[in-house]
């Protein structure tokens, strides 16, 4: 068998079903890959000590005919924002250093019940606040395509791990693009499901009305397999949607079998293309539109005028909700506690702990959010931002009356150099231009690789968007496009191992 770590989750699943390989062999190969490459990349914050033991149990279940799911025995990396009872959960912050939760997140529980093998917890921007994984409280993660560049954020660890063959699939979270932008930067597939389609129970909250958990993979079908495991209603999450969901895997398989895109109406949001987009990204996007048109899709320009204000609205809604959510880290209940000298009050301890435990980006957003929620400013800032959000939702609802899916670049640029935007928060925030509207609208979004930018040879992502509840539509269209890109280029970007690793 070829290099185990180069195989997709689907291929590994088929090999396991045929008895050609064991979960222990697959898990050991990925653990060895992590051991040899993570010193250069920094994808992981913690590694499981029980991975091989869980793989052994998986092999026993398969041998006895008790396989739990198609992904039984497949390794998975988990973003460190999801609670795990057997590994630390820090959300990339020093304020939670060493904390082991008393319960698993629902998504983690579902992964375990489906027989997947957790390899470890992946690095992230602290409390998911960032677009480069440079704001982790522990270390910087580097892009496997070029270690001088960022892997995106906040879920750069999960995307880098999948791109570098450290894991066949991973779990991320997406508040304003934290799955899709890293996927674009690393040549992987990343999906933000419909808001409420995947449980947030046990996920350390950033902005509760925006956060959503989703898969990271190297193929559309692999993402679909993971989505089918983690999706569905959860009574522990009050925002979870109590409705049956179509099989994402069946949708991906149907898309892979489709000869073309005949009958598909594709909308191009004019506010998400053009100004501010890197020339190489624009070139690949234009080529993608031409490819779709040649293969039967109808391309329609869509005007979503309020998307122009999405970034401004988002950076009021998110900090306001983050300010509220992060109030729980008070030194009293759990996590870090810093006690000043003398006879400090509870307020003194709280202040010292938050000063020492939170990084600069987290403090910046807490201050901004607290101000936006303060007396006399609530309506002017947070309230106005929510009104803009409603207008964006209406823009998308109107757009989907005319088209089946919407498209845009997943990110305005390819991966930027580490440190390039670290001292310019506004430039960093502008990198979320194309992804943020999806979160504000609560609709599903997917990033798939559509080639390499000519000027730097780095991956470029195509973002697909669908109406709420129509996640399967993304998988069907995404799988067809993935095949068409591969036929055009002679390979999938996801099949190329970045030379640096």
Q: Which amino acids are annotated catalytic?
A: 79, 154, 178
Position of tokens 């005949």?
262
In this structure, how many other beta carbons lie within 10 angstroms of the beta carbon of residue 3?
10
Of 51, 60, 9, nearest to 32 (Cα)? 51
Query: From CA 489, how far away is CA 314, in angstroms rounded?
Result: 37
Q: How remote is the C-alpha of 354 from its chain's centroid? A: 27
Strands (E), 385-500: 405-409, 445-452, 459-465
Please name every residue paired with 78 in a beta bridge, in sequence order, or none if there are none.
Answer: 121, 171
3-state secondary structure of 231: strand
Q: Residue 78, by phi and psi: left (phi above 0), alpha (psi -120 to 50) or beta? A: beta
Contact 362, 154 (CB under 8 A): no
Contact 72, 186 (CB under 8 A): no
3-state secondary structure of 400: coil
Contact 126, 358 (CB under 8 A): yes
Of 145, 204, 212, 141, nearest to 175 (Cα)? 212
Query: From CA 175, how far away is CA 317, in angstroms rounded?
Result: 11
Query: From CA 159, how far away is CA 181, in angstroms rounded?
Result: 9
Contact 281, 460 (CB under 8 A): yes
Query: From CA 16, how far away is CA 22, in angstroms rounded?
Result: 6
Contact 425, 361 (CB under 8 A): yes
- For 339, counting Cβ atoms within 10 Å of its Cβ (0-12 exposed, 13-18 middle, 19+ buried), the class is exposed
Query: 211 vs 115, 317, 318, 423, 443, CA distance in Å?
Result: 26, 12, 10, 26, 12
- For 150, counting Cβ atoms within 10 Å of its Cβ (0-12 exposed, 13-18 middle, 19+ buried), the class is buried
Tokens linked to 476: 């069907």
Query: 14 vs 17, 54, 120, 232, 475, CA distance in Å?
Result: 5, 19, 24, 25, 20
H-run or E-run covering 315: helix 310-325
Query: From CA 166, how far away is CA 40, in angstroms rounded?
Result: 12
Q: How remote is the C-alpha of 299 from its chain's centroid? A: 27
């Amino acid at each position: 068998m070829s290099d185990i770590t180069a195989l997709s989750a689907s291929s590994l699943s088929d090999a396991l079903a045929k008895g050609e390989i064991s979960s222990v062999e697959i898990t050991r190969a990925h653990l060895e890959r992590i051991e040899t490459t993570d010193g250069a990349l920094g994808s992981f914050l913690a590694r499981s000590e029980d991975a091989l033991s869980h793989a052994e149990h998986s092999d026993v279940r398969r041998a006895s005919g008790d396989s739990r799911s198609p992904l039984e025995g497949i390794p998975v990396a988990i973003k460190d924002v999801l609670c795990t009872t057997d590994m630390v959960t820090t959300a990339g912050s020093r304020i939670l250093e060493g904390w082991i939760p008393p319960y698993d997140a629902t998504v983690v529980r579902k992964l375990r019940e489906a027989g997947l093998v957790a390899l470890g917890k992946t690095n992230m921007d602290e409390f998911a606040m960032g677009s480069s994984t440079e704001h982790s409280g522990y270390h910087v993660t580097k892009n496997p395509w070029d270690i001088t560049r960022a892997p995106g954020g906040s879920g750069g660890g999960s995307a880098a791990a999948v791109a570098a063959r450290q894991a066949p699939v991973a779990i991320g979270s997406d508040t304003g693009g934290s799955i899709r932008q890293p996927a674009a930067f690393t040549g992987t597939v990343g999906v933000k499901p419909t808001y409420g389609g995947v449980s947030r129970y046990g996920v350390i909250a950033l902005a509760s009305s925006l956060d959503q958990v989703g898969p990271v993979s190297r193929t559309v079908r692999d993402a679909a397999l993971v989505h089918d495991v983690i999706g569905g209603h959860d009574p522990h999450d009050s925002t979870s949607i109590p409705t049956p969901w179509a099989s994402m895997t069946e949708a991906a398989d149907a898309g892979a079998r489709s000869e073309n895109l005949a009958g598909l109406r594709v909308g191009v949001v004019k506010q998400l293309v053009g100004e501010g987009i890197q020339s190489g990204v624009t070139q690949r996007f234009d080529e993608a539109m031409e490819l779709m048109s040649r293969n039967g899709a109808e391309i329609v320009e869509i005007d979503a005028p309020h998307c122009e204000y999405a970034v401004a609205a988002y950076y009021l809604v998110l900090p306001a909700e983050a300010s509220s959510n992060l109030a729980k880290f008070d030194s009293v209940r759990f996590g870090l506690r810093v006690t000043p000298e003398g006879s400090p009050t509870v307020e003194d301890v709280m202040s010292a702990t938050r000063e020492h435990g939170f990084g600069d980006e987290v403090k910046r957003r807490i201050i901004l959010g607290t101000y936006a929620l303060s007396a006399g400013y609530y309506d002017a800032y947070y309230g106005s931002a929510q009104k803009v959000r409603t207008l964006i939702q209406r823009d998308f609802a109107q757009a989907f009356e005319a088209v089946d899916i919407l498209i845009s670049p997943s990110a305005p640029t390819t991966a930027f150099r580490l440190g390039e935007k670290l001292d310019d928060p506004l430039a960093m925030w502008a990198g979320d231009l194309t992804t943020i509207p999806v979160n504000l609208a609560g609709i599903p979004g997917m990033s798939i690789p559509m080639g390499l930018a000519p000027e730097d040879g780095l991956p470029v992502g195509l973002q697909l968007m669908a109406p709420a509840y129509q996640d399967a539509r993304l998988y069907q269209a995404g799988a067809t496009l993935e095949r068409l890109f591969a036929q055009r280029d002679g390979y999938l970007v996801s099949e190329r191992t970045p030379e640096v690793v």
